[in-house]
Structure 1
Amino acid sequence: MCRQAFLLVILLFSVFGFSQTKIIDSQTKHPVSYATISFGNGQGVFADDEGQFLFTEKIYPDVDSLFVSALGFKDLNISTENLPKILELQPHIDQLDEIVVRAKLDRKYKEETIKAYLDDDYHKCWLPTIESEIAVYFKNEDDKLKKLSEIHFPIALESVDWKKRHKSNAEKKPFSTLFKVNIYHNDNGRPGKPLSYQNIVFRATEKDGDQFTLDVSAFDIYIPDSGLFVSLQVLGYADNAGKLLPNKKYKEIKSGGALVKIPTNFRPLLPFTNEIPENNTFIKRVFLHGNQWIQFKKGHFTDSSLLNAGLTNYGMGLTFKVYKDE
């Protein structure tokens, strides 16, 4: 467990006490994993794999209502006054996975890879925060049947000793971070409806190196004719077993007699690149701006050091099977 996460857990549970709420499916009574809980004013957290999240009025004194959402369920608005220990979400029938009946494919195929763009320069990296979701567009070059096999996420590691940051054998700062991956349809050049409602989650640590490769072959994701978007979303720090820890989105510091909220940046850093000519990357602030996608390009973001340096895309990569015609 990384030191920052450990200290945060001690702070939350020793000072504020243990108080958790659980989100379940109203029909099956099963936990709703990794639901989004928005507090308003740009604040929010995620539930863990068991549908549990930490909320107390002492931690969030200015919050009077919660907005809960999850793929495949109707949104829920609820007051924080006398907040129940169990919250039930109603399944959204029209958002269930489309059932596609396919015979087991034993056709020949070749495997192709769109490489990831790696970079260890910290100044060329996005600093992940809980509210940020980054989606990258991958077009479909032809009408051949393609099944997604792997997703390659470039990661920039930070050296413990700044002076040794250019040495490949330098000791790296530890982290243990849980990410969620979403797959979206292409809706006229923007991320559209989810292509899959399955929870795809992984934990990354400094031991994974400068690229994390996620095997998604078991999810049966086929690339539509119009291509697809793959997104990466930070859920927060996790323990060594991959359990999501209580993560507070903001650090609060006193400045000039006032309490200032500073977004918590999570590791690892995500390197951006200027080697992709198109603007394929979209950013969404999950708890801000109506949860709308914005293309990452000049004119859409102000004071972006990445855009000012011409770094317009997160260099995610893919591996997929291309099936030969029968």
Structure 2
Amino acid sequence: MIRLNKLYSLFACIVFATGFSQTKVISSETNYPVSYATISFGDGQGIFADDEGYFYFTKKLYPDVDSLYISALGFKDKTIAAINLKETIYLDTETDALDEVVIRANLNRKFKEETMKAYLDDDYYKCWLPTIESEIAVFFPNEDDKLKKISSILFPITLESRDWNKRKRSNADKRSFSTLFKVKFYANEKGTPSYPLTYENIVFRATEKNGDEFQLDVSEYDLIIPDNGFFVSLQVLGYTDKSGKLLPNKKYKEIKTKDGVVKIPTNFRPLLPFTNEIDDHRTFIKRVFINGNQWVQFKKGNGIESSLLRSDLNNYGVGMTYNVYKDE
């Protein structure tokens, strides 16, 4: 945690020294902040606003960025020229009917809680390295017509040992991290993630103290499993300080080569273990900062370069607990 605080202090000093610019994204209808809005720069790059709607942008930090594309669940997208960036950005509420995707049901009856296990693995070489520009979605089928409500999502994570030579020891000291993730739920449309099932901002902070599985309680959102299943997605927002505040660090590294500067997305911890124990291909990925990019099924032949696929590790093994309600 000390290292993360030092990074925050260093970034803050750089921002102030290069012309501090803090912008807030708010709702034009309510004047409330739009938490964790996506700020895309195009070409696969971007950042996120924090929980209060603030993000940091300067031409010193991002000299080649001409336009910013602002988006958030429940709001219309907005494009702003970098030279016209003001202290406040107003987003208009999306007019499509959210009520159409919210399923109402009588939950005042007896139920049985069931669990679909998460697939855990501590092998570093079987893991996805989370980057800001990627979102991972996992499909959960609905096996029967019984009413089911999601209680929690079980996200497997892999912890890294401080000492590489002791990595196979269960009692080895683990590398510390404090990372903020965003979670979304999508309807299933012909086997692909479609419209969101809720416009709520669902985030959680994971640290090494959570162990190899993070259990996210989502019972308050009354998420009923649709007849044709659903997708749950995970997207890393970045590192946080010890209080859980999102750090405004740059989300890619710039490496000088003979052909110019190459931008390499920053990898964030924790690692996400993939598995070959699921028969079908339930995992999809997309590059969230490329405007209009579509979901791609994580499988060989879909143009994805990944050592995981070469090892037949096709799925991120997310688990779930859910209530199965008795018939009325």
Please report the TM-score for the alignment, with normalisation by the length of structure 2: 0.95
Q: Is residue 319 of structure 2 the alignment partner of residue 317 of structure 1? A: yes
Match of 1:238 in 2: 240
Cα drift, residue 83 of structure 1 = 1.1
Deviation of 1:41 after TM superposition, in Å, equals 1.5
1:10 to partner: Cα distance: 2.9
Contact 1:2/1:175 (<8 A) preserved: no
Partner of 2:93: 91
Question: 1:248: Cα distance to partner?
Answer: 1.4
1:263 corresponding residue in structure 2: 265
Q: Distance in 2 between matches of 1:7 and 1:59?
A: 19
> Cα gap change, 1:190/1:302 in structure 2, threshold over 3 Å: closer, same or farther?
closer
User: How do 1:56-135 and structure 2 match up within 5 A?
Assistant: 56-98=58-100, 100-103=103-106, 105-135=107-137
The AA in structure 2 aligned to 1:193 is Y
Deviations 1:100-142 (A, max 9, x none): 5544x23111111110000000000000000110000000011
2:255 aligned partner, one-letter code: I
One-letter amino acid of the counterpart of residue 315, structure 1: G
Shift, 1:256, TM fit: 3.5
Which stretch shows the higher mean deviation, 106-115 or 201-210? 106-115
Kindly provide the amino acid, as one letter, of the partner of residue 176 in structure 2.
P
> Once the two structures are superposed, what CA deviation does each residue of 1:163-183 show, in whole Å capped at 9, x if it has no partner?
100011100000000000000
The percentage of counterpart residues that share the same residue type is 67
Residue 258 to residue 11, structure 1, CA distance change in 2 (3 Å): farther
Instruction: Give 3-state SS (helix, strand or coil) of 1:290's partner.
Output: coil
Q: Write the distance in 2 (CA, Å) between the matches of 1:257 and 1:36.
A: 30
Deviation at 1:23? 0.3
Contact kept, 8 Å, 1:124 with 1:271, in 2: the verdict is: yes
User: CA, structure 1 residues 294+311, in 2 after alignment: closer, same or farther (shift >3 Å)?
Assistant: same
Alignment match, 1:44: 46
Residue in structure 1 matching 2:159, options 157, 160, 165: 157
Secondary structure in 2 aligned to 1:322? strand
Letter in 1 for 2:140: F
Q: Is contact 2:39–2:69 with CA below 8 Å preserved after alignment?
A: yes
Mapping for residues 268-287 of structure 1, pairs under 5 Å: 268-287=270-289
SS at match of 1:16: helix
- Output one character per residue of 1:228-284: Cα deviation in whole Å (capped at 9) or x when no partner: 000000000111221111031211132348322221000000000000000000001
Letter in structure 2 aligned against 1:146:
K
Equivalent AA in structure 2 for residue 160 of structure 1: R
3-state SS of paired residue (1:137): strand
Does structure 1 residue 229 correspond to structure 2 residue 231?
yes
Tell me the SS of whatever aligns to 2:165: helix
Q: How many residues align?
A: 324
Counterpart Cα distance in 1 of 2:247 and 2:202: 18
Q: Which runs of 5+ in 1 are unaligned?
A: none
Q: In the alignment, which residue of structure 1 is the partner of 2:210?
A: 208
Do the aligned partners of residues 325 and 299 (structure 1) sit closer, same or farther apart at CA in structure 2, a change above 3 Å counting? Answer: same
Q: Which residue of 2 aligns with 1:15?
A: 14
Distance in 1 separating the partners of 2:255 and 2:315: 32
Q: What is the distance in 1 between the residues matched to 2:2 and 2:228?
A: 41
The residue that corresponds to 1:199 in the other structure is 201
Letter in 1 for 2:58: T
Q: After the TM superposition, list the runs of 4 or more consecutive aligned residues in structure 1 that deviate by more than 6 angstroms.
A: none
Contact 2:111 2:326 in 1 (8 A): yes
Distance 1:257 1:191 in 2: 38
Give the match's secondary structure for 2:84.
coil
RMSD: 1.5
SS of the residue 1:231 aligns to:
strand
**Aligned partner letter, 2:12:** F
* 1:42, distance to aligned residue in structure 2 (A): 1.3
Cα drift, residue 95 of structure 1: 4.7
Task: Give the Cα separation in 2 of the matches to 1:45 and 1:97.
Answer: 30
* Distance (Å, rounded) in 2 between the aligned partners of 1:63 and 1:97: 37
Superposed displacement of residue 6, structure 1: 3.3
The 3-state SS of whatever aligns with 2:109 is coil
Q: Please list the CA deviations of residues 143-197 of structure 1 after superposition, one character each: whole Å capped at 9, or x if unmatched.
A: 1100000100000000000010001110000000000000000011000000111
| Counterpart secondary structure, 1:291 | coil
Does residue 1:288 correspond to 2:290, yes or no?
A: yes
Name the CA distance, whole Å, in 1 between partners of 2:225 and 2:193: 14
Structure 2: stretches of 5+ with no match in the other structure? none
- In the other structure, the counterpart of 1:32 is 34
1:26 touches 1:91 (CA, 8 Å); kept in 2? yes
- Looking at structure 2, the residues matched to 301 and 309 of structure 1 have their Cα atoms a distance apart, in angstroms, of 16
